[in-house]
Structure 1
Amino acid sequence: MTELTATLAAMYRPRLLITAARMAALTHDAQRRAARRPIAALLAEEDKLNTARLGDGLGYSPSRHVAVMSALLCAARNQAGTR
């Protein structure tokens, strides 16, 4: 298990968000986002989105959250495949 996989496994997110992110992770767009952005930047953005989701909700975009989570899932899959 890679460090990113362990980080993702430790996260608690709503089931609907994860299901949507898993489906979106199968697209070419998610693979491109994963390759284009550093993992640390994706994790930081996901943390900000989750804070907005849990807080007042201002500035929260569910579609953006799915896009970022799908890129993280692609990055984790790519890391696991290269080892």
Structure 2
Amino acid sequence: MKKSFLVVITLLLGVSTSYTQHNLLGKSQKYIRSFYNLGNEFALKVDTIGQKAILLTYKTEKQYPFYTYEIDLHKDLCISYGVVSK
């Protein structure tokens, strides 16, 4: 019973995280930064992908999970995202 409860909770958290990340597609860079600035547990790293895009990476103090967002600089929109977990 405890194992099935743990599995259900894990699945719900995974779906919730995935749904939240999906909601950031099409949002501006400012919106994504303000979403993560609500708490101090995330550190931001910005990488240049090319002349048209940058990659925002948010990491916690732990190594995993971390979240990446590709921002189209011409439209200032999130065009893709990723969640990296162990």
TM-score with structure 1 length normalisation? 0.29
Higher relative contact order (CA 8 A, sep 6+): 1
Going by fraction, where is helix more abundant, 1 or 2?
A: 1
Greater Cα radius of gyration, structure 1 or 2: 2
TM-score with structure 2 length normalisation? 0.29
Going by fraction, where is strand more abundant, 1 or 2?
A: 2
